[in-house]
Amino acid sequence: MLNILLVDDEPDLRVSLGQVLRDEGHDVEVASDGEAAMARLSTRSFDLVVSDVRLPKVDGLTLLRRVRREFPMTEVLLMTAYGSIGDAVSAMKDSAVDYLTKPFDIDELVAVVEHIDDRRRVRDEHARARAEIDAQPGAARLVGRCPAVVELIEKVDTIADTQAAVLLTGESGTGKELVARMLHERSARRDQPMVVVNCAAVPPSLIEAELFGHERGAFTGAVKKREGRFKAADGGTVFLDEIGETPLETQAKLLRVLQEGEVVPVGANVGAKVDVRLISATNRDLKAMVTEGRFREDLYYRIKVFELHLPTLRERLVDLPLLVEQFLREFRPGEGEPPGLSPAAWAALRDYAFPGNVRELRHAIQHASILARGVEIDLPHLPPELAGKPEANGGGSPRSLGEAMRQYEKEIIVRTIRGTGEQRQRAAKLLGISRKSLWKKLTKYGLQNRRQNGEP
């Protein structure tokens, strides 16, 4: 619901438009001229001013400029019976959210106001997310409101300052390394090293030397002695990502390190004591691997004194605003406030399945932030697979039936509007939908402002 100030010098129009907007659930006050409108604005706050351009005492463009200067949080929608291109250009330069030429279809006004309402809700969600992120201390932060994430954060706080081994499970891209860093930073080992090893990225023949070190000449290419990752993390934390990829022989030696607190480098006869806390992670089913003989059962129980499972992004869509705000801040150009997202971009993010989870979302926001260059992120700024564009799928093959239908609907709408010479009322009739429905679909597909660029 919006608090709307409707300004027009035609009494019948004020009554009819006011009633239509009230029927849509908005709180509406009216004023007959620009001077009266400014008086109303000084006594209460409004989300939106809907004003005629030609007004007695203070005209609509002057009112627009004063509102932008004195009430920057209030949006302005201008309407006029005089379809002046000069007025429209002037209005857009002064940040009117839109410009309607009388006579206009009532459905179009309702749709524009609904679009403004959507934008304000998105902006308010941004503000709430910003405040929530600001309230959370620490460098490594897992943000979220969903019960699974709240419970996960509570468990991290409970077990962080212990020596217990922790196993993090969940799909790729859910934030397992972030949780590992939270465990380290909130422990007594926070001032000591945290060493990260991606076991899947190290060749099986080299994983033992990578973890435990090697002596000079221990194998071909070992031209000098080298300490392993466990020794480098002495006093701190070792994070073994994708631990399920380690060979069985290495698993046996890893178990000995955990039991004895001692590493023996490859080619050495004498071991060295190490004091490390182990945090492991996997996106595989280690219990099934134990049953299949591909992962040692004794090591499995040793590394999972505590097991923390990270939910997929699909299971925590309620956290999408917080995550988006976090990544907008990370990739904002400069030091100012990060840009927002249009309702169409928000809808695309909300409707996408995110097989790559939070990592994929982060990359999408980085992609969009670079293309948007500090302005509001809209649908064309998102990666093609999120925006529903066919190029992402090998030259036009849709990802799903739903995407194919959306792609077809968008093409039909564009062709119909183009065929009517941009007459949207006629296009809506040919499509068998209301003007309001057409406006919603144009907004959904990021097409609502293309008329300004000579496009439908």
Nearest to 97 by CA among 129, 67, 134: 67
Give every CB contact of residue 422 below 8 A, 6+ residues apart in sequence. 451, 456
pLDDT band at 61 (very low <50, low <70, confident <90, very high): confident
The more confidently predicted of residues 378 and 98 is 378
Residue tagged 């496009």 (tokens): 455
The per-residue DSSP string of 244-293 comes to: GGS-HHHHHHHHHHHHHSEE--BT-SS-EE---EEEEEESS-HHHHHHTT
**pLDDT (0 to 100) of residue 452:** 38
* Distance, CA of 273 to CA of 255 (rounded, Å): 14
Inside any domain, residue 114: no
Host domain of residue 379: 316-453
- Mean pLDDT: which of 99-103, 324-328, 334-338, 419-423 is highest? 324-328
pLDDT digits (tens, 9 = 90+) for 335-345: 777 888 888 88
pLDDT band at 396 (very low <50, low <70, confident <90, very high): very low
Is the pLDDT score of 251 beyond 70?
yes
The more confidently predicted of residues 226 and 38 is 38
Inside any domain, residue 134: no
Name the residue type at position 435: R
* Distance, CA of 46 to CA of 12 (rounded, Å): 22
Is the pLDDT score of 60 beyond 90?
no
User: For a pLDDT cut of 70, what percent of the chain falls above it?
Assistant: 85
Does residue 200 sit in the same domain as residue 289?
A: yes
Is the pLDDT score of 449 beyond 60?
no
Least confident of 11-15, 138-142, 389-393: 389-393
Inside any domain, residue 176: yes
Is the pLDDT score of 297 beyond 90?
yes
Is the pLDDT score of 285 beyond 80?
yes
Which of 283, 310, 337 terminates a domain? The answer is 310
318 alpha carbon, distance to own chain's centre: 11
pLDDT digits (tens, 9 = 90+) for 143-197: 888 899 999 999 999 999 999 999 999 999 999 999 999 999 999 999 999 999 9
Q: For every residue of 109-168, which 3-state class applies, written as one string?
A: HHHHHHHHHHHHHHHHHHHHHHHHHHCCCCCCCCCCCCHHHHHHHHHHHHHCCCCCCEEE
Residue tagged 């499972």 (tokens): 309
Does residue 246 sit in the same domain as residue 349?
A: no
Domain count, the chain: 3
Least confident of 64-78, 80-94, 286-300, 356-370: 80-94
For 358-387, what is the mean pLDDT? 92
Q: Check: CB of residue 12 under 8 Å from CB of residue 44.
A: no
**pLDDT (0 to 100) of residue 403:** 56
**pLDDT (0 to 100) of residue 86:** 53
The CATH number for 56's domain is 3.40.50.2300
* Distance, CA of 35 to CA of 59 (rounded, Å): 9
Which secondary-structure segment (H or E) carries 210? helix 207-212
For 62-67, what is the mean pLDDT? 87
Inside any domain, residue 128: no
Greatest CA separation for the chain: 97
Pairing state of beta strands 272-273 and 3-7? unpaired
Does residue 329 sit in the same domain as residue 393?
A: yes
**pLDDT (0 to 100) of residue 448:** 62
Does residue 305 sit in the same domain as residue 415?
A: no
* Distance, CA of 210 to CA of 229 (rounded, Å): 6
Does residue 335 sit in the same domain as residue 411?
A: yes
Inside any domain, residue 256: yes
| 236 phi and psi angles, rounded to 5 deg | -120, -135
Inside any domain, residue 342: yes
Nearest to 211 by CA among 231, 191, 189, 193: 231
Does residue 154 sit in the same domain as residue 286?
A: yes
The more confidently predicted of residues 360 and 392 is 360
Does residue 292 sit in the same domain as residue 363?
A: no
Q: Check: CB of residue 404 under 8 Å from CB of residue 363.
A: no
Does residue 439 sit in the same domain as residue 320?
A: yes
Does residue 302 sit in the same domain as residue 320?
A: no
* Distance, CA of 132 to CA of 136 (rounded, Å): 7
**pLDDT (0 to 100) of residue 332:** 84
**pLDDT (0 to 100) of residue 405:** 60
Does residue 153 sit in the same domain as residue 231?
A: yes
Give every CB contact of residue 13 below 8 A, 6+ residues apart in sequence. none
Inside any domain, residue 54: yes
User: Using alpha carbons only, how large is the chain's radius of gyration in Å?
Assistant: 30
* Distance, CA of 284 to CA of 170 (rounded, Å): 8
Q: What does pLDDT average to over the chain?
A: 84
Does residue 14 sit in the same domain as residue 35?
A: yes
The CATH number for 187's domain is 3.40.50.300
The more confidently predicted of residues 19 and 122 is 19
Which of 253, 277, 310 terminates a domain? The answer is 310
Inside any domain, residue 247: yes
pLDDT band at 102 (very low <50, low <70, confident <90, very high): confident
Q: For every residue of 73-100, which 3-state class applies, written as one string?
A: CCEEEEEECCCCHHHHHHHHHCCCCEEE
pLDDT digits (tens, 9 = 90+) for 198-208: 999 999 888 99
Percentages of the chain per state (helix, strand, coil), in multiples of 5: 50, 15, 35
* Distance, CA of 259 to CA of 253 (rounded, Å): 10
The more confidently predicted of residues 420 and 178 is 178
* Distance, CA of 294 to CA of 116 (rounded, Å): 57
* Distance, CA of 119 to CA of 366 (rounded, Å): 21
CA dist list (Å): 399 to 350, 352, 390, 395: 16, 11, 9, 11
Name the residue type at position 334: G
pLDDT band at 454 (very low <50, low <70, confident <90, very high): very low
pLDDT band at 139 (very low <50, low <70, confident <90, very high): low
> How many residues are recorded in the chain?
456
What is the DSSP code (8-state) at residue 341?
A: B
The CATH number for 443's domain is 1.10.8.60
Is the pLDDT score of 47 beyond 60?
yes
**pLDDT (0 to 100) of residue 30:** 94
| 309 phi and psi angles, rounded to 5 deg | -100, 130
* Distance, CA of 335 to CA of 337 (rounded, Å): 7
Which tokens sit at 136? Answer: 């959370």
Query: Which SS3 state, helix, strand or coil, does residue 240 take?
Result: strand
Which of 310, 329, 345 terminates a domain? The answer is 310
Does residue 152 sit in the same domain as residue 246?
A: yes
